[in-house]
Chains A and B, each alone.
Chain A
Amino acid sequence: MINYDQKYDVIVVGAGHAGCEAALASSRMGCRTMLLTINLDAIALMSCNPSIGGLAKGHLVKEVDALGGEMAKNIDATGIQFRVLNTKKGPAVRASRAQADKQLYRLRMKRVLEHQHNLDLKQGEVTSLYIESGELRGVELQSGIRYLSKTVVVTTGTFMRGLIHIGLSHYPGGRAGDQPSIGLSDQLQKLGFSVGRLKTGTPARLDARSIDFSKLEPQFGDTPPLPFSLSTDRISMPQLPCHIAYTNPRSHDIIRSGLDRSPLYSGIIEGIGPRYCPSIEDKVVRFPDKERHQTFIEPEGLDTIEVYPSGMSTSLPVDVQIAFYRSIVGLECVEIMRPAYAIEYDYVDPIQLHTSLETKLIKNLYHAGQINGTSGYEEAAGQGLIAGINAALRVKGRDPLILGRSEAYIGVMIDDLVTLGTKEPYRMFTSRAEYRLLMREDNADLRLREIGYRLGLVPEQEYAHFLDKKRMIGEELERISVSRLQHSDNTQAELARRGLHDIQKGTTLEHLLKRSDICYADLADLDPISRETPKEVSDQVEIHTKYKGYIDRQIEQVKQSKKMETTCIPTDLNYASIKSLTTEVREKLSTNRPDTLGQASRIPGVTPAAISILAIALKSASRKENAEECHH
């Protein structure tokens, strides 16, 4: 092995959605960083659906943005359809989604990386970590070169021992068209990591010229399109519609007739696939009574004829694929440009990670993205950002950044992963967040901007804008709590026009806004000053006022659990010595090794009584050693 003469602070292995955020974060924080990828032409490639966001995922993207990450800016610059989902289901569950021009998305991210100070981009396959006398020192490449670094972030995606399936034939690959990564997972296993196997799949890419769009229902984006990023003023890309199509009983017959050649049903695929993103054959088998399955035909870009039929992933043989895609109305003559396939890959049980995403086994080694058993670009980006930040903080000798379950979806995701592990590809859902009302897309900046700024990831000017907004929200909340409705003829007429006869003279604006039949925009007709409020401020004032009771209740719950969430458990705690714990609980805790008492309480089978006992054991241990509680 040849040692490369330059020594890095952080090496990021893999340049997908996790790797890009990790590399950008650490280099922006002033660390010498290298980003290694198997293929420099596939940086930030959208291997599956050409879209960003959606429920809970949109939340993740906005959090990444508030912390100073890149994903939101990248989709804003390359998005070709933007929609806000769930507009009528409450502010906490509103979520943004966008279609991307896949090639532009990748090229823009590459350009950002190329212009980033402190960051080197290199192509090569990492075959092993370089570990010397038990300490991580860098990585070794297939080409025979060794790069040295203080920390390593591994983001292998679907590449570790990747195996592609189409029908009964299969071959090694990290993604259609790319080599897999061989060797690394064997080494991780030898080091003591528990390595498992997952499966995912992607639909065929179809030729738009062979689709009769006149038979399909178009779905347009919002006008005007609303950006993801706090830094984007407006979306300037041309916008395109998607189209909705449906399978029918004949499609299902075709699928059923091909099941004998399905690698999924013939037992060739061992990896566990995601239940929320099943292949079409899985849908047909599991829901035999459903007469049709919906698909959105999504454009892959402005300048390409390739389209992506969502929800139609499969690992059936190509002849069955052709027949069933052609059974769909509007797709009778469709030509497949790239066949659908399934892929199996190795992941490392995330239970073996600290909440900082550093592995418990190897110091200075961080894992992010699909290697942790997650799926989705947004989940990957969130973890990549945190891993990159924490690798940089380690280099600087500072405490890691841990986001709480009440602070961010990113925090919920990481806590779930490291506390409970995962057996199927983990995707974010809003239902996983117990403090959903506190963690909305619209307040991602109020939750996280400060943290991003302190880390050095948010520029001064943007932070100043944020402080302005925050101040204005505070002032407006104060103003409406004391301002009373003036009873001029004009307001009387306005109230009457709205049928609001029961409003008393001298009602505060706050009181008025609490009513379900009045929104902030209505105030403008009754109160001239509110006309001047910028929308980003009035939105917050409205939500804060209308949902105050619920929000306060959740804030109180957060306060009550704070003590548990901030009580650290020493990594070397000997659970066997705590005799009062039942054997079952002792075993669970010894395996999971939770970082905090809060995490311990979320492990299934760990009872409240066990937590009490643990709290006492910790307290007596800390009195002995005079140790202090940690504060994240």
Chain B
Amino acid sequence: MYIRDTIAAVSTPPGNGGIGIIRVSGGLASTVGFSVFKSVRDGGLESHRFSFGTVCDPSTGEKLDEAMAVYMRAPRSYTREDVLELHCHGGWLVVERVLSLVLSCGVRLAEPGEFTRRAFLNGRIDLVQAEAVMEIIASKSESALQLAQRQSGGALSIRFEAVRASLLKALALVEAYIDFPEDDLGNTDKSTILASAQEANTIICSLLSTFEEGRAMRDGISVLIIGKPNVGKSSLLNRLLNENRAIVTAVPGTTRDIIEEVIVFGGLSLRLLDTAGIRHTDDLVESEGISRALAKIPQADLVLAVFDASMEFSNEDQFILNALADSRAIAVFNKSDLPRKLVLPNIDFFYAVTEISALTGAGIDLLKRQVCSLFSPSNQSDPCDFVAISRSRHRDALVTAANHLQQFSAGVKDCSLDLLALDLRGALYSIGSITGQTATDEVLDLIFSSFCIGK
């Protein structure tokens, strides 16, 4: 609980409402306003006046959204601190992007109920409300916790644990060299320390890069359309796009390269990738397209595996199923207008199986809804108001940890051990802010179990 610093959070319910408000409270509020908000009028922000303008990333100059901004100088504000509110035009992607821009200005993400808590501690709201505030914090942090535990069925926490374990290993080594110079530990082995730190960094980087939300926010959700030749991939793409973009013919193998289209619906931007039909071929150009398509599978946020429902299951279909292992995929049975012959063996690993007819358009809306429900927080069940926040928190912590590790790597050759320990501790502390663990005892445990200490 830091009383002095500046906090920010999205203060409207998540989802794709009309307006999304980002609220900033604390000493940096006006600085944030000046750096991210460009008013159409000259003179910037006046206290308690709405201004119309744009939210821009000052480092790139990129315009994120049109917005209304209001600045309220302390003490005439909800928290009795300087407060800035940015009213964006909604769409959770935009709101999240603006929030992360604000957070990059030296502002911390607010804890559950923290605005209200500050309002109370600063005497803004009365005593009777205190109990209510405590209730809110208790229940919100509880639901955030449940959510964190549910997220990815614990897969995420396993990876956070792996990061922690590597960091702890590196730190334990550094601390052992520091605290036990007279125990026969040999010379300082910086390469092992660095290797452990890099192990942690690798996981952090992959977490950051595969973070659905982070990627979705930067460049939309990538949806890869895959299937053997002539099952109707391009027809499906056109249906989703509502226009004829890809060449559609009845000759297998017409789409030889990957076609990329962006569509926006349900507040999500989807990057649709149509690929060459998959089958064994001697045609060099086409086999090049196929291998490129297969290579895209691990990077895609979602795969639409298209099958021809009017044909029997084939070796090529099996080839696709094999390639899909471990990816997030929906099975699309095209040509529902024809009599069904297809039976898929072992379809457990698909998120959904949907029947469509690219020809008639039947089932396309259902497919769109299924795609949305996988990514849009507004379509997730109950404590959805914490999906976004807890995720931003994770990303926030991971970025901080990555920065510490970058400093560590840069200094590992020349810096003394006490400074290196500081960087590793910084990284561990950030990860600990997600997992809720402190490190001191664990570092000592690890030292005593790995080294024979005892002069």
Contacts and interface: CB of A to CB of B under 8 A. Distances in A.
A277 interface: yes
Given A579-B134, A581-B138, A607-B436, 14 more contacts: A55-B180, A86-B181, A90-B419, A93-B418, A97-B182, A277-B454, A283-B452, A429-B175, A579-B131, A609-B137, A612-B1, A612-B111, A616-B117, A616-B130
Contacts, number: 149
Contact of B4 (A88, A91, A559, A611): A559
Nearest to A563: B3
A89 B184 contact: no
Contacts of B414: 516
A275 B455 contact: no
B440 interface: yes
B179 A56 contact: yes
Contacts of A579: 131, 134
19 contacts: A89-B416, A90-B419, A91-B416, A91-B418, A93-B416, A283-B454, A294-B184, A294-B455, A431-B421, A516-B414, A550-B419, A560-B2, A560-B5, A561-B2, A578-B134, A580-B135, A608-B141, A612-B1, A624-B127
Contacts of A429: 175, 179, 444
Which among B117, B425, B454 has the highest number of chain A CB atoms within 10 Å?
A: B454
A276 B454 contact: yes
A92 interface: yes
A274 to B, nearest CB: 8
B133 interface: yes
A91 B417 CA distance: 10
Nearest to A310: B455
A369 B200 CA distance: 40
Interface in A393-436: 429-432, 434, 436
B178 interface: yes
A93 B127 CA distance: 48
Interface of A: 54-56, 85-86, 88-93, 97, 275-278, 283, 286-287, 290, 292-294, 296, 310-311, 429-432, 434, 436-437, 516, 547, 550, 559-561, 563-564, 578-582, 597, 601-602, 604, 607-609, 611-613, 615-617, 619-620, 623-624
Contacts of B416: 88-91, 93
A93 B135 contact: no
Contacts of A88: 416
Given A276-B454, A436-B418, A609-B141, A89 B182 contact: no
Contact of B182 (A54, A90, A601, A608): A54
A582 B138 CA distance: 8
Nearest to A602: B438
Contacts of A612: 1, 111, 113-114, 117, 134, 137
B447 to A, nearest CB: 8
A345 to B, nearest CB: 19
Interface of B: 1-5, 111-114, 117, 120-121, 127, 130-131, 133-135, 137-138, 140-142, 175, 177-184, 188, 414-419, 421-422, 425, 436, 438, 440, 443-444, 448, 452-455
Nearest to A95: B181
A148 to B, nearest CB: 43
B1 A55 contact: no
A581 B139 CA distance: 10
Contacts of B422: 436-437, 550
Contacts of B137: 580, 609, 612-613
Contacts of B141: 607-609
Ranked nearest first, the 6 interchain pairs of A and B with the lowest CB-CB distance are A90-B416, A90-B418, A609-B141, A580-B134, A294-B184, A92-B418
Contacts of A607: 141, 436
B452 A293 contact: yes
Contact of A623 (B127, B142, B425): B127
A580 B419 contact: no
B268 to A, nearest CB: 32
B454 A278 contact: yes
B111 A609 contact: yes
Contacts of B134: 578-580, 612-613, 616-617
Given A429-B444, A615-B117, A55 B455 contact: no
Given A275-B453, A550-B419, A296 B182 contact: yes
Contacts of A93: 178-179, 416-418
A623 B455 CA distance: 54
Contact of B440 (A294, A296, A432, A601): A432
Could you say which of B113, B120, B133, B184 has the most chain A C-beta atoms within 10 Å of its C-beta? B184
A612 B121 CA distance: 10
A245 to B, nearest CB: 12
A311, A437, A547, most chain B CB atoms within 10 A: A311
A294 B454 CA distance: 9
Contact of A294 (B5, B117, B183): B183
A112 B177 CA distance: 37
A85 B4 contact: no
Q: Which of B2, B114, B443 has the most chain A CB atoms inside 10 A of its CB?
A: B2
Given A89-B417, A432-B440, A612-B114, A563 B4 contact: yes
A602 B453 CA distance: 27
B166 to A, nearest CB: 18
A287 B453 CA distance: 10
Contacts of A292: 184
Contacts of A582: 138
Contacts of A623: 127
A570 B180 CA distance: 40
A604 B192 CA distance: 31
Contacts of B127: 620, 623-624
A394 B425 CA distance: 39
B1 A611 contact: yes
A275 B111 contact: no
Given A90-B417, A290-B452, A560-B2, A580 B178 contact: no
A379 B46 CA distance: 58
Given A55-B180, A277-B454, A432-B440, A616 B1 contact: no
A580 to B, nearest CB: 4
A56 B418 CA distance: 13
A184 to B, nearest CB: 30
B187 to A, nearest CB: 11
Given A311-B455, A431-B440, A619 B120 contact: yes
B223 to A, nearest CB: 38
B361 to A, nearest CB: 50
Contacts of B455: 277, 294, 296, 310-311
A609 B417 contact: no
A580 B138 contact: yes
A91 B414 CA distance: 14
Contacts of B179: 55-56, 93, 429-431
Nearest to A433: B440
Nearest to B4: A560
A287 B418 CA distance: 28
Nearest to B437: A604
A437 B416 CA distance: 12
A620 B114 CA distance: 16
Interface centre among B2, B179, B188 (most CB of A within 10 A): B179
A275 B448 contact: yes
A580 B131 contact: yes
Contacts of A311: 454-455
B34 to A, nearest CB: 22
A275 B417 CA distance: 24
Contact of A615 (B121, B183, B452, B454): B121
A132 B87 CA distance: 69
A342 to B, nearest CB: 14
A609 B113 CA distance: 9
A515 to B, nearest CB: 11
Most chain A Cβ neighbours within 10 Å, of B2, B130, B178, B180? B178
Nearest to A615: B1
Contacts of A97: 182
Interface core residue of B130, B416, B444 (most chain A CB under 10 Å): B416
Contacts of A516: 414
